[in-house]
Structure 1
């Protein structure tokens, strides 16, 4: 590749991935190198190569399985109470908002 040729983006990206690359293309080389280093670490982490030997959490922060009665469309947050972490599930059924808290 010569200095005049811009690299082609990967074809396996979706629309959002291409938009992210378009935004990154406007950045300075140092910022691109920092983003590249971060993305390499993120890819390794998502592939299961976390530092410290721990298991990675699901990418979206949600639990691997939902408790009985909690729909998979429920929003999930993690909260800590007295040093113990809990999943807090919240979803809508008709006009009502339902929730459930489960120890992590």
Structure 2
């Protein structure tokens, strides 16, 4: 790529992001690569956060079926209603079951380490 073929930001970006990118245009290659690496890491984090927030009941049920016995019976703690949605997460080798349900106008939740 020659200096005449300088890339331009995608048109889909909002003005604030375009302005931020303009501030980077005169940076050296090392600084640009460091920023790009950070942005890739930030994008992966944003995706994982979005996935955690948008987890569907179907996904949660599939996770529970795999984690519990083969016939798909889920063991709910005594103080958790069977209508609760369940999300299973493994963090640092420890499995957690997150139960969440509605009780009138309130959302109740319980976390159980397995």
TM-score when scaled to structure 2? 0.40
Give the number of the structure whose alpha-carbon radius of gyration is greater.
2
Structure whose residues are more often helix by fraction: 2
